[in-house]
Amino acid sequence: MEIRYFNLFIGLLSLTLALILFIRRSPNKRPNTFLAVFFLLITIYSEFIVFHFYSIHTRNMSQLSYYLPLDVLLLVMMSPFFYFYVLQLLHRPMKFIHWPTLLHAIPILLAMVFNVLFYFLPVDERVDWLIRNFHESSPEMTVINIALYLQILFYLIITLRALGTINQWSVRILQQVLKSGLAWVQLFLLANTVFLLGSLPVYFWINNQDTALWIGCTALYLDFFVLFIMAILKIDILDAKVNKEKKVLHPMDPEKVSTEWQTLINYMAAGKPYLDEHCSVATLAVLIKIGERQLSRLLNEHGKITSTDFINDYRLKEAIIYLEDQSKNRKNIDMIHIECGFGSRTTFFRAFKKVYGISPKAYRKKHDATYNKL
């Protein structure tokens, strides 16, 4: 059974890559952690497929009696973790204890409930169900597989959509980001979308668990060749060596500093990237075509300001214009934080009070009183 050895091989390589990503020292540590979990899930899933195939084909009732459909749970978990990886790679803010994030756990909870219900079935009934489903899917297994297809397709779409939002910045940032590591991500997503849509008619035509497992195996091989090989080629993912010389900070060239600072200031004034709530030092570095670490150092040493305060300073100046507006159609305070690029009303109020000492509401009230007096 060649599938057995090939799956074991892919599982071993995926585990190796997951371990490297877990222990690797990198500025992208958080995104790499999500990618490491994704590879770890691929590792466990590949071994479950081997176990399932081998137990059914050899009619090993003893092994089948211990089998739980954890492969369903693993598949359900893969898509959210890759989606979170892409969000972190794009420097999108994400809170775990937040209802939009917690919604991603619903399919995982349903898969866990399915496993618990399966576990409490009598052993003979479980084994008989597994063997029958392998040759001819039951209605409940068909529903589960359809739900898996829809869930994976949903995450492929929203992940591609998240990547598509970088078009809002400019053509330049799109080109630079794709060159710097996201090309392989787009290739992976597109390849899986094409495969998913292409395999759906095959599953419904044959409609048994044997076919579903072969589709899962083929997707595993596809992910291996696209994700694993492209990851190595495009983002240098196996380079865990830390160059200590990079930590030595050499004096910055005054002429170069002046030029880069002026480029940054000019772009902030003309392009207004800070109006996007996802604006960060990483996206600014791409936009003005300098290194992220170099830009951070430019802000800290030359500007004497952190990247967060630098971006928020521009947002607050924009907010002041709205707050001092005396026209009839002026925006209310709840809309101003959105227009100025703040992710939430709380963040806006906290940043405003830190700089001006009063809340935006109090500032507007004070300005209105002064304006009416004049």
154-199 pLDDT, tens digit per residue, is 999 998 888 775 544 443 444 444 444 566 777 778 888 888 888 8
Residues 183 and 262 in one domain: no
Residue 350: inside a domain: yes
pTM of the model: 0.62
Residue 242: inside a domain: no
Residues 337 and 205 in one domain: no
What pLDDT does residue 151 have? Answer: 93
Residues 104 and 179 in one domain: yes
Please tell me the total count of domains within the chain: 2
Residue 14: inside a domain: yes
Expressed in percent and rounded to 5, the helix, strand and coil fractions of the chain are 80, 0, 20
Q: Which of the listed residues 235, 268, 297 is the one where a domain comes to its end?
A: 235
Residue 67, phi-psi category: left (phi > 0), alpha (psi -120 to 50), beta (remainder): beta
Residues 172 and 36 in one domain: yes
Q: Assign residue 335 the CATH number of its domain.
A: 1.10.10.60
Helix axes 139-164, 106-119, angle to 10 degrees: 160
Residues 33 and 151 in one domain: yes
Residue 246: inside a domain: no
What pLDDT does residue 165 have? Answer: 55
Cβ(115)–Cβ(75) under 8 Å? no
pLDDT exceeds cutoff 60 at 236? no
Residues 285 and 231 in one domain: no
What pLDDT does residue 154 have? Answer: 93
Residue 215: inside a domain: yes
Residues 300 and 200 in one domain: no
What pLDDT does residue 172 have? Answer: 42
Cβ(187)–Cβ(230) under 8 Å? yes
Q: How many CB atoms neighbour CB 372 within 10 A?
A: 8
CA 347 to chain centre: 23
Biggest CA-to-CA distance, the chain: 91
Q: Which of the listed residues 176, 205, 235 is the one where a domain comes to its end?
A: 235
Residues 222 and 309 in one domain: no
Q: Assign residue 91 the CATH number of its domain.
A: 1.20.1070
Q: Which of the listed residues 235, 261, 284 is the one where a domain comes to its end?
A: 235
User: pLDDT per residue over 102-123, tens digit each?
Assistant: 889 999 999 999 999 999 999 9
Q: Give the CB-side neighbour count of residue 4, counting CA atoms within 13 A.
A: 9
Structural domain span for residue 328: 252-373
Residues 268 and 225 in one domain: no
